[in-house]
A and B are shown apart, each in its own frame.
Chain A
Amino acid sequence: MFPEGGSLMAGPAVQPGKPVSAWSEWVGTAVRLGLAVVWGWAGLAKVADPAEAAQAVRAYEILPESLVKPIGYGLPFLELALALLLVVGLGVRLVAGVSALLLLVFIAGITSAWARGISIDCGCFGGGGHVDESQTTYLQEILRDTGFLLLAGWLLWRPRTRLSADGWLAS
């Protein structure tokens, strides 16, 4: 006779995936909240003056005028939505993916402005628009966004974090 619940059958019943150490889940929580602060700060800084947000978009000279206002008005709220979802910890891998995509778009935009010799502030945390050539900080802006991209990358790789809605839904 085979023993009840033979080891052969035990496989599918346990949680799938590799066991992730508690240590890395706590790191994930810190990364998630860190990225939430970044998006929250970036979004709030762009909400106060819609004309300023539109001009920050216009200054890149990439989008047609008809898209300048929708993007300028909508982007801060996309950032705020990502911040909210990260705080709650819902759909972390998807949110991290959207975050990474958005950051890649930002980095591409800044690089493009730099390459075309336009003198603008990235408008990443409010402000934006044309600045004096001596006041451009493209490299710092790209490095900063790359740092944020690493945070999003961590969450893409390890979306399971402590104190998250994802965690409560899975248990």
Chain B
Amino acid sequence: MSEKNREGKRTARERMLEQRAADEASSRRRKKLIVGGAVLAVIAAAVIAGVVVQNERSKPETPTAAPAGTIGDKNLVIPVGAGNAPSVLTVYEDPRCPACGSFEREFSATVDQLEDAGKVYTNYHLVSFIDRAVPGKGSKNGANALACAQEAGHFRDYHDVLYRNQPDETNDAFGNKAVLINLAKQVDGLDTPEFQACVNDDKFGGWVSSVQQDFDKSSYKSTPTVLLNGQPIYPKNGTEEITPANLAKWVDAANQGKQLGTAGSHGQTPAPTSAASEANNPSPTAG
């Protein structure tokens, strides 16, 4: 009898403890599930909110406003020279890129001559990606100032001045808008209140971002990228090294037997008229 009683008591006690252990285990499991669920919820909420916010913040690939006279289906390209010139020189440049600076210092005189002679129609893409790798805003502010100069009809001269005064890559002088405005004094008629406001207000910042996003999606990975009639010629055209003399020679060879474009000066005067220019293409400061 007492033996059986003891058995019974022990079993009840065992059961109670087992129950308590099971309760604790299930409570721990439940806690774990709640914590796990909370963690995943935090992560999911952050990622979804992030995608929405960044989507909202990102500048559109098609700009809402572009400088006057820009060409291309999204008006991302700044043309210089006669639109009816037989050859197209395409140049991707970042205002802060040192190789672009040396290219400009070596070639800008030749390119200007080729444009003025109606031999090439230059299409500039103002890339602004150095700011990503080197701290500063010189690429973006510089590109915006160039867009402002285009708006004012002084792109080529300001472009040449900017590259002649390019600081070292790590020196973010072009990030300083006062420096950009000061350099505009070297271009007759550019240093106006409109130009200053355009630079200070980052008027074409959205356009600059669109141009950069277009470059991001292109197959070109570095600057300067220089194409003559779509064919890369920098640093070499086939096996031939690019030099001012070679560039002129290549252009003449490409233009052989073709009618030259309207001759002009400063690359701004002649309105692009031929099929070489693209559809929605208001002429830059024509007339």
Contacts and interface: CB of A to CB of B under 8 A. Distances in A.
Contacts of A73: 50-51, 54-55, 58
B29 interface: no
Contact of B42 (A9, A69, A81): A81
A129 interface: yes
Contacts of A98: 43
A127 interface: yes
B50 A77 contact: yes
From A70, A76, A77, A98, residue with most partner B Cβ within 10 Å: A77
B58 A91 contact: no
A158 interface: no
Contacts of A53: 54
A50 B57 contact: yes
DSSP majority for the A interface? helix
Contact of A85 (B18, B39, B48, B59): B39
B55 A91 contact: no
Contacts of A94: 35-36, 39-40
Interface stretch (B80-88, B159-167, B171-179, B209-217): B209-217
B35 A77 contact: no
A156 interface: no
Contacts of A40: none
How big is the B interface, by class? 35 or more
A33 to B, nearest CB: 17
Nearest to B22: A12
The residue in A73, A76, A131 that gathers the most chain B C-beta atoms within 10 A of its C-beta is A73
B36 A91 contact: yes
Interface in B1-47: 6, 10, 13-14, 17-18, 20-21, 24, 31, 35-36, 38-40, 42-43, 45-47
Contacts of A70: 51
Contact of A77 (B17, B24, B49, B133): B49
A49 B212 CA distance: 12
A95 B39 contact: yes
A91 B47 CA distance: 18
A84 interface: yes
A9 B17 contact: yes
Interface string B167-195: 00000000000000000000000000000
Contact of B55 (A69, A90, A132): A69
Given A9-B14, A81-B46, A50 B222 contact: no
B35 A166 contact: yes
A80 B213 CA distance: 25
A3 B36 CA distance: 41
Contacts of B43: 78, 81-82, 85, 98
A144 to B, nearest CB: 18
A129 B39 contact: no
Given A50-B54, A51-B58, 4 more contacts: A74-B47, A81-B46, A85-B39, A91-B36
Interface of A: 1-2, 9, 12-13, 47, 49-55, 58, 65, 69-70, 72-74, 76-78, 80-82, 84-85, 90-91, 94-95, 98, 119, 121, 126-132, 166, 169-170
- The 7 A-B residue pairs whose C-beta atoms are closest, nearest first, are A77-B50, A73-B54, A81-B46, A91-B39, A12-B21, A50-B58, A130-B221
25 contacts: A1-B6, A9-B14, A12-B18, A12-B24, A47-B54, A50-B58, A51-B59, A51-B209, A51-B212, A55-B129, A58-B217, A69-B58, A73-B51, A74-B50, A74-B51, A78-B47, A81-B45, A81-B47, A91-B35, A91-B39, A98-B43, A128-B132, A129-B133, A169-B31, A170-B31
